[in-house]
Structure 1
């Protein structure tokens, strides 16, 4: 079946996209604009691995959507082809315990997952370090979104095991890259003193992109991802303006894709301003979607309760949360602190007459947007 075949209209088997994958989160661009200094800093830290030595540790910081993960992935892709070098990137939003991190490292090295139970951390650790020494491999581990390890109280133990590997296993050479989007988190200060004494990282900072830089980057995505003439300069400038307002390049990339899909829904061969404005209502919450996806069932349950009791005192919210999950107050308080730190809720102290100080819990986002992503 065909839609209207007038000029400027698409048929069912036509698309405005040349390559829709260009707008997916896992797409690795061939060229990486406006991050030359950051790449140089990371290459400096990683260069010893190519010579068979332990790489320098590095602390990579910057707001969300500023190219941190992309830079790591590009450099790791270059290193992976070299003999004697092993790279592993761990998403700590998903793997937020020491055991989970080392399970991911184990899987990357041996190409199968360790047993879900019945194997101790000590055994897991020794199999990894035995392999490194037997094969004379240098391991570089990127703990991406390392802030989530801090939220779970797992950061110091995880880093201690990685950084001290050469002491427990002579010949094991391990370097660590930490990546954090939480600018309020002082990573080194939050670590145990025993970890601080050995963790002396190179600092690499990724600032937010300026609007002209956003235009450059999105223009290349447009040329690679859309057919010629689909997105005009005026539309691209509007996408860049909205993206720069959020400080997150991922918003702009998602916005281009959604605007293209909206244009297709109108059977139009061009993306117009109306497509961008409509799509922005969802794209502006791309970081919210990402944060919600990483939550456990109990964390999602609390976020759902806060959405219902937005602005209420923590004690009242706890009663509703306990009724739903049967979890105790200690665990409840831990989850409140985590949701506050990841920016999903705001926990503010207020003075209640006759009761002293109490916390009020409110959403950091529109309640309907939160509910949509929890359903």
Structure 2
């Protein structure tokens, strides 16, 4: 692929990027456009905390890549800078048990990790609440990707402990923001009755960005992340169109980064349409890659088996899984349900002649794409 000779070529120590971190998943933009009403709703709910009272609880819902995590990080940043309110964001994809959630809360309050063993949940919980009362501080905990707590059956116990903290230790003031990208999950309905009775959250919905909003957000990232002239209007329009098709802003941000790296591989000072098209073959699997990061060894093993037996009956897949791992049907069924909830597979019931109803398992992605990502390619 030849470049315009007048543009010259990148030398080994040059880059098309002004700031590559702009395209990382954890980047919090200075300008957070097109989420003004959602930000106002979050600030309204948390305003009592700034006055030393317990804030309103919140459910922030919406499809993946619609700005929920960024909104929480922005509000927490403002709250922490202007008040004495403690804020802790827990990534439930990583910390998916009650104990690990409270370990992250402990770390956020004491600024060091609790002992990895030898400390009971009861003691951990008491130390957190005693510290809050002693310092007369309000704590706001964001359970990001809370759907993972539901997948592991830990959501009700975790929320119960947070919401009832003031009963266990008089004077403890804790508010909760739950963030969910699983639109099939009814957070309230799926909680125990004991939690439903105390969890009356404000709901803040984050819709998919429209085409103009996507283009606007990506343009701002280009201006901050690339040197001037690297990404043309034509190339940016192509990225925005592919992003809109996916419905996930993270696809576009990842696509810009990969396209930039492709240009550098060619020693080009500009990103081409071909760089974008090549990068899209990987960027379109951003949601899949994100979901795979949270899987345990046995869950990964089953997914590998499904990828190699795509479309077969669940019983046949189980035989192959059991032969490989020695795990029983109960665990197998639990993993199937989780992979289905994560939208990695479809598990549908079909009628099989002579056998009654049976589940048929199929991947929502190309088997090769799943296997490549499991192998780290």
So what's the TM-score if we normalise by structure 2?
0.97
In the alignment, is the contact (CA less than 8 A) between 1:346 and 1:361 conserved in 2? yes
Q: Indicate the residue corresponding to 2:110 in structure 1.
A: 110
Q: Please state if 1:276 is matched with 2:276.
A: yes
- Structure 1, residues 316-345: CA drift from partner, whole Å, max 9, x if none? 111111122221111110010000000111
Q: Please state if 1:12 is matched with 2:12.
A: yes
Quickly say closer, same or farther: Cα 1:240–1:5, change in 2 above 3 A.
closer
Q: Indicate the residue corresponding to 1:94 in structure 2.
A: 94
In 2: Cα distance, 1:374 partner to 1:190 partner: 31
In 2: Cα distance, 1:138 partner to 1:81 partner: 14
In 2: Cα distance, 1:271 partner to 1:8 partner: 14
**Cα offset, 1:144, TM superposition:** 0.3
**Cα offset, 1:123, TM superposition:** 0.6
- Structure 1, residues 160-212: CA drift from partner, whole Å, max 9, x if none? 00000001110000000000000111100111111111100001000000010
Q: Indicate the residue corresponding to 2:164 in structure 1.
A: 164
Gaps of 5+ in 2: none
What pairs with 1:125-204 in structure 2 (closer than 5 Å)? 125-204=125-204
- CA RMSD in angstroms comes to 1.3
**Cα offset, 1:83, TM superposition:** 4.4
Q: Indicate the residue corresponding to 2:55 in structure 1.
A: 55
In 2: Cα distance, 1:85 partner to 1:185 partner: 30
In 2: Cα distance, 1:265 partner to 1:171 partner: 59
Aligned to 2:161, what secondary structure does the other structure show?
A: helix
Q: Indicate the residue corresponding to 1:74 in structure 2.
A: 74
The more displaced of 78-87 and 126-135 is 78-87
Aligned to 1:96, what secondary structure does the other structure show?
A: coil
- Structure 1, residues 274-329: CA drift from partner, whole Å, max 9, x if none? 11111000000011101001111111111111001111111111111112222111
Aligned to 2:81, what secondary structure does the other structure show?
A: coil
Q: Indicate the residue corresponding to 2:359 in structure 1.
A: 359
In 2: Cα distance, 1:267 partner to 1:222 partner: 19
In 2: Cα distance, 1:148 partner to 1:311 partner: 26
What pairs with 1:214-225 in structure 2 (closer than 5 Å)? 214-225=214-225
In 2: Cα distance, 1:210 partner to 1:147 partner: 25
Q: Indicate the residue corresponding to 1:369 in structure 2.
A: 369
**Cα offset, 1:80, TM superposition:** 1.6
Q: Please state if 1:328 is matched with 2:328.
A: yes
Aligned to 1:358, what secondary structure does the other structure show?
A: strand
Q: Indicate the residue corresponding to 1:338 in structure 2.
A: 338
In 2: Cα distance, 1:84 partner to 1:263 partner: 46
What pairs with 1:15-26 in structure 2 (closer than 5 Å)? 15-26=15-26
In the alignment, is the contact (CA less than 8 A) between 1:5 and 1:11 conserved in 2? no
So what's the TM-score if we normalise by structure 1?
0.98
**Cα offset, 1:111, TM superposition:** 1.6
In 1: Cα distance, 2:83 partner to 2:212 partner: 40
Aligned to 1:52, what secondary structure does the other structure show?
A: coil
**Cα offset, 1:347, TM superposition:** 0.5
Runs of 4+ in 1 over 4 A off after TM superposition: none
Aligned to 1:80, what secondary structure does the other structure show?
A: helix
